[in-house]
Amino acid sequence: MIRETIQQSSRNITKSKTVLVTGGAGFIGSHLVRKLVEKGREVIVIDDLSSGSLENLSSLGLKPSDFEFKKIDLTNYSQILECLKEGDIVFHLAARIGGLKYLHGTENAEIAALQANLAIDANVFRASLEKRVEKIIYASSTAVYPLDSQYSAGAIFSEEDFLYQPEKQDPRFRFKMDIDPDGGYGLAKLLGEVQLSWMKNIKIAIARIFNVYGVNEPLDEKSHAISDLIRKAIDYPQKEFIIWGDGKQTRDYMYVSDCVDALVKLEEKISDYQPLPLILNIGSGKATSISELAEVIIKISGKNIKPKYDVQKPVGPISRTADIRKVKETLNWEPKVSLEEGLKRTFVWIQKKIT
Ligand SMILES: NC(=O)c1ccc[n+]([C@@H]2O[C@H](COP(=O)([O-])OP(=O)(O)OC[C@H]3O[C@@H](n4cnc5c(N)ncnc54)[C@H](O)[C@@H]3O)[C@@H](O)[C@H]2O)c1
């Protein structure tokens, strides 16, 4: 069925630039590739398959002939340089990501995330400049926002809290406030944003993505709270259903298809947006606590689960929610998939995957 949709939309395309998706075999990347292929775009997937897989793409109904795949390690500059050409559009999603096990991670984990992501970003941006690509859409993160504010309840972040202030005499952007990103991962994303804000000849969009969940999300040590809770519900009563912390910590959860819709619209919108870069929060705009998540997941499981709380376990920031007024207005976008519906889809997928 997806094939028919793809062929139909391809007929409507008269002129299409090559779109490269770095990290295209990953969780969000695989859904983005499918969406772009459905829209009839010519897509090149770049990934070293360190955490992503080609199965992520095939399980979404994509065939090898729907896109070109290049297995490339982006820490190697010459490899990415060879892939790009003038006028390309680059969705840059490849990154070394943390997960539950990285919370309050060791120093080594922080440094490893910082070094790998700095190298990946620098190579992609340098090659993009050299080859004169037309657009870069960068997957940034909520982790760039100041961490100290995330340790109090009700932290809502707006792009304006943290905008760079251009000065008349100097085209480079400036920070408006002290920086305090979340770990090596957050610092690398922040420095990625800074590099991009200085690249004046490329159209730049920066997506500050909040917590994304759904089909294809990692189930290994990089897993996040949602897949972890779903697994616990599936394993119950053989294993206990334990919530890390007191369950009051909140996050902004968005189903992956909503995130991808926003990224695609972001690319379409860059051309007529000024001043660049176009920086947008991509999130649901709603704070959901871990206890509320658990409640919905338990309901979906149909089991009579009594959660236990382990307050000794690390929970990370207490709250981080996106202010999504700017993205709604700029892209005429808003999340469509309710938490209950998204969790049902994810639950069914994880159940199939692990049983
Ligand atoms: N998932 C979220 O909730 C979330 C939130 C905020 C930001 N983001 C950002 O969105 C992007 C995608 O995240 P995701 O959740 O899909 O993660 P993911 O780990 O599934 O995807 C990252 C992909 O990058 C690839 N990769 C890693 N190192 C590479 C290298 N050296 N060379 C080539 N490929 C490499 C991996 O194999 C993987 O397929 C990342 O940049 C992430 O920081 C994600």
Instruction: Name the CA dihedral angle for 337, 34, 262, 190, rounded to a multiple of 10 degrees.
Output: 120
Q: Residue 344 contacts by C-beta under 8 Å, 6 or more apart in sequence? A: 300
Contact (CB, 8 A) for 249 and 289:
yes
Q: Does the pLDDT of residue 32 top 50, yes or no? A: yes
Residue type, 225: A
Residue from 20, 27, 136, 255 to probe ligand 1 pocket by mutation (most atoms less than 8 Å from CB): 27
**Could you tell me if residue 164 is inside a domain?**
yes
Checking if the pLDDT of 171 tops 60, the result is no
Centre of ligand 1 to C-alpha 340, Å, is: 25
Q: Is the CB of 29 under 6 A from ligand 1?
A: yes
pLDDT attached to residue 6: 44
Positive/negative CA dihedral, 261, 176, 97, 285: negative
- Position in ligand 1 atom list of the atom nearest CA 209: 6
Residue 168 maps to which CATH number? 3.40.50.720
Q: Higher model confidence: residue 11 or residue 244?
A: 244
CB-ligand 1 contact for 56 (6 Å cutoff): no
Question: Residue 137: CB within 6 Å of ligand 1?
Answer: no
CA 84 to ligand 1 centroid distance, Å: 20
DSSP 255-271: EHHHHHHHHHHHHHHHT
Q: Please state which of the ranges 25-29, 54-58, 110-114, 124-128 shows the lowest mean pLDDT.
A: 110-114
298 inside domain: no
240, part of any domain: no
Confidence of residue 60 (pLDDT cuts 50, 70, 90): very high
The answer as to whether 131 is a domain residue is yes
Of 97, 120, 251, 258, the one to substitute when testing ligand 1's pocket (max ligand atoms within 8 A of C-beta) is: 97
pLDDT tops 90 at residue 351: yes
Give yes or no for residue 23 CB within 6 A of ligand 1: yes
In terms of average pLDDT, the best of 5-19, 157-171, 307-321, 327-341 is 327-341
CA of 73 to the centre of ligand 1 (A): 13
What is the length of the chain? 355
How far away, in angstroms, is 308 Cα from ligand 1 center?
Answer: 32
Whole-number pLDDT of residue 91: 98
- 168 vs 352 pLDDT, higher one: 352
Q: Could you tell me if the CB of 48 is within 6 A of ligand 1?
A: yes
Pick the range with the lowest mean pLDDT from 52-61, 132-141, 150-159: 150-159
Q: Which atom of ligand 1 is nearest to the CA of 216?
A: 20
Tell me how far apart the alpha carbons of residues 302 and 351 are, in angstroms, rounded to a whole number.
13
pLDDT at 178 (0 to 100): 66
Radius of gyration of the chain from its Cα atoms, rounded to whole angstroms: 20
Domain membership flag for residue 239: no
Mean per-residue pLDDT of the chain? 88
Looking at ligand 1, which atom is closest to the CA of residue 218?
A: 20
Supply the pTM of this predicted model.
Answer: 0.92
Read off the pLDDT of residues 285-333 as tens digits, 9 standing for 90 and up: 999 999 999 999 999 999 999 999 999 887 788 899 999 999 999 999 9
Domain extent at residue 269: 2-8+17-211+256-284+321-336
Determine the pLDDT at residue 326: 95
What CA dihedral angle connects 18, 22, 26 and 30, to 10 degrees?
Answer: -10
At residue 55 the predicted structure's pLDDT band, cuts being 50, 70 and 90, is very high
44 domain residue, yes or no: yes
**Res. 240: pLDDT tops 60:** yes
How many domains does the structure of the chain reveal?
A: 1
Is beta strand 288-289 parallel, antiparallel or unpaired with respect to 250-251? antiparallel
Instruction: Check residues 268 and 7 and name the one with the higher pLDDT.
Output: 268
Residue 206, ligand 1, Cβ within 6 A: no
Percent of the chain surpassing pLDDT 90:
68
Band (pLDDT 50/70/90 cuts) for residue 31 is very high
Residue 226 placed within a domain: no
Check if 121 has its Cβ closer than 6 Å to any atom of ligand 1. no
Of the chain, the percentage scoring pLDDT greater than 70 comes to 87
Residue-wise pLDDT for 85-129, tens only, equals 999 999 999 999 865 555 455 667 888 889 999 999 999 999 999
Report if residue 355 sits inside a domain. Answer: no
| Angstrom distance (rounded) from CA 115 to CA 118 | 5
Work out the average pLDDT over 199-210: 93
